[in-house]
Amino acid sequence: VPTVRVACVQNDPAFGARDANLDAAEALLDGVEADLVVLPELFASGYSFRDRAEAEAAAEPFPDGPTVRRLLAWSRRRGAVVVAGFPERAGARVHNAAAVVADGRPLACYRKVHLFGFESDVFDAGDDGFAVVEHRGLRVGTMVCFDWIFPESARTLALRGADVIAHPSNLVLPWCQRAMPLRALENGVFTATANRVGTERRAPRPALRFTGGSLVAGVDGVVLASAPEEGPAVLVADLDPARARDKRLPGGNDRLADRRPHLYGSHTVSSKDA
């Protein structure tokens, strides 16, 4: 697999103005040449749904909705993989989802596994887990925003062979941008976090300020490219997928093969799902 270029789009959507938000994202992408394009969580719909009915009204089927159709067109024009968040309607369920499309074809729809805060009032948690798709030899895993804080999310994607984790986000807590280089390091993968900026005031919900700082991190825990905390931006970085397929560290250990799962308690302890 040759070197690939990843682009993260950091946008500033207006709540509910889907078509204008799509046009603005398309303008940001104008002239950007990339093999993988990542856009934020719910990048065209906005985030702060007041209630379930509002989320249902905004939700679209996959892949036959207006947002995903636009993503398909972008991916066709560029020959790229495009990963972007949108509200998905699936029968009676509504998911905080990320479409994964390439070359004009739908590849996967990831349904956010770990809902953040109020999201569980308006979305159904995804029950399909984490998936990796391969396109032109590049293996792309997807997680959304708050999934990052559970190390199991990125770990699962790495164990399933991801070279790069596409990470559409709407971050409001202060930690993720600092943490992603470690997620990349501990798994020996690249990460591409596309975060939004701006503030949503959707009373009675508290105002939410999104923190920008979109970033691409490398397998050795470095920041390869990052965007400012404020303002729309597109950042690009070139990745060598071969570096994600050699998990060795200085000293010779293998970040995945040297795991000792029978000594980990993570599946033996009660949880909501156990």
Name the minimum Å distance from CB 7 to a second copy. Answer: 26
Q: Which stretch binds a second copy (CB under 8 A): 4-12, 21-29, 156-164, 210-218?
A: 156-164
Show the site string, 9-38: x = touches a second copy by CB under 8 A, - = not.
------------------------------
Rule CB under 8 A: say whether 123 interacts with a second copy.
no
Near a second copy by CB under 8 A: residue from 221, 224, 228, 239: 221
Torsions phi, psi for 245 (to 5 deg): -105, -5
> 35 or 124, CB closer to a second copy?
124
Concatenate the DSSP letters of all residues of 69-117 into one string. HHHHHHHHHHT-EEEEEEEEEETTEEEEEEEEEETTEEEEEEE-SS--T
CA 259 to chain centroid: 26
Helix axis angle for 18-29 and 66-78, nearest 10°, is 10
Q: Give whichever of 70 and 112 is closer to a second copy, judged by the CB atom.
A: 112
Question: Contact with a second copy (CB under 8 A): which of 32, 73, 90, 159?
Answer: 159
Residue with tokens 């396109």: 135
Q: Is 272 in the site for a second copy (CB under 8 A)?
A: yes
User: CB 46: neighbour CB atoms within 10 A?
Assistant: 22
Is-contact 216 237, C-beta < 8 A?
Answer: yes
Q: Binder to a second copy among 28, 109, 185, 244 (CB under 8 A)?
A: 185
Q: Does 260 bind a second copy (CB under 8 A)?
A: yes
**Token reading at 132:** 């990796």
Catalytic annotation on 41?
yes
Find the binder of a second copy among 31, 92, 203, 273 (CB under 8 A): 273
How far out from the chain centre does Cα 209 lie?
Answer: 19
Name the residue nearer to a second copy (CB basis): 68 or 185. Answer: 185
* DSSP assignment string, 170-190: ---SSSHHHHHHHHHHHHT-E
Q: Does 61 sit behind a cis peptide bond, omega within 30 degrees of 0 on the bond before it?
A: no
Residue 110 in the binding site for a second copy (CB under 8 A): no
Residues 230-259 that bind a second copy (CB under 8 A): 249-253, 255-259
Rounded to whole angstroms, how far apart are CA atoms 163 and 100?
15
Q: Least distance from C-beta 258 to a second copy, angstroms?
A: 6
Q: Is 109 a catalytic residue?
A: no
Residue 33 bears catalytic tag: no
Smallest distance, a second copy to C-beta of residue 272, A: 6
User: d(Cα 150, Cα 152) in Å, to the nearest integer?
Assistant: 5
CB of 264 to a second copy, least distance (A): 4
Q: Site size for a second copy, by CB under 8 A?
A: 53
Cα–Cα dist 34/88, whole Å? 26
What DSSP character marks residue 262? G
In this complex, which beta carbon is closest to a second copy, that of residue 238 or of residue 258?
A: 258
Interface contacts to a second copy, rule CB under 8 A:
113-114, 116-118, 125, 127-130, 146, 149-153, 155-156, 159-160, 172-173, 175, 178-179, 182, 185-186, 221, 249-253, 255-269, 271-274
List active site positions: 41, 112, 145
